[in-house]
Amino acid sequence: MADQQQSDTAPTWWSRPAAPQAEAEAASDPAAEHAPQASGAAPGPRYDPWAEQPLQVVDQGRATGGGHLVRMRHVLALGLGIALLAGGVGGWLGVLAERQSSTRLELPQAAVENKGRAPESVAGIAATALPGVVTLHVRGSTGSGTGTGFVLDGQGHILTNNHVVSDAKDITVTFSTGESVTAALVGRDSGYDLAVVKVDGVRGLQPLSLGNSENVKVGDPVVAIGAPFDLSNTVTAGIISATGRPITAGGDKGDGSDISYVDALQTDAPINPGNSGGPLLDAKARVIGINSAIRGADKGDSDKQSGSIGLGFAIPVNQGKRVAEELIRTGRATHPVIGVTSTWSTRATGPASAPRARAASPPSPPTAPGPGPGSRAAM
Sign of CA pseudo-dihedral 307, 168, 171, 139: negative
Query: CA 293, CA 234: separation in Å to the nearest integer?
Result: 17
Residue 281: name the closest of 228, 242, 317 by CA.
317
Backbone torsion region of residue 304, taken as left when φ is above 0, otherwise alpha when ψ lies between -120 and 50, otherwise beta: beta
Sign of CA pseudo-dihedral 46, 49, 54, 59: positive
Taking only Cα atoms into account, the Rg of the chain, rounded to an integer number of angstroms, comes to 56
Active site residue 302: no
Q: Pick the catalytic residue from 276, 292, 308, 375.
A: 276
Active site residue 276: yes
Active site residue 163: yes
Query: CA 101, CA 105: separation in Å to the nearest integer?
Result: 9
Q: Pick the catalytic residue from 137, 189, 190, 193.
A: 193
CA-CA-CA-CA dihedral for 176, 227, 119, 159, to nearest 10: -80
Sign of CA pseudo-dihedral 113, 114, 119, 122: positive
**What type of residue sits at position 245?**
R
Render the burial of 16-48: b for 16+ CB within 10 Å, e for the rest: eeeeeeeeeeeeeeeeeeeeeeeeeeeeeeeee
Residues in CB range of 43: below 8 A, 6 or more apart? 37
Render the burial of 235-269: b for 16+ CB within 10 Å, e for the rest: bbbbebbebebebbbbbeeeeeebebbbbbbbbbb
In DSSP terms, 239 is beta-bridged to 221
Q: Which residues are catalytic?
A: 163, 193, 276
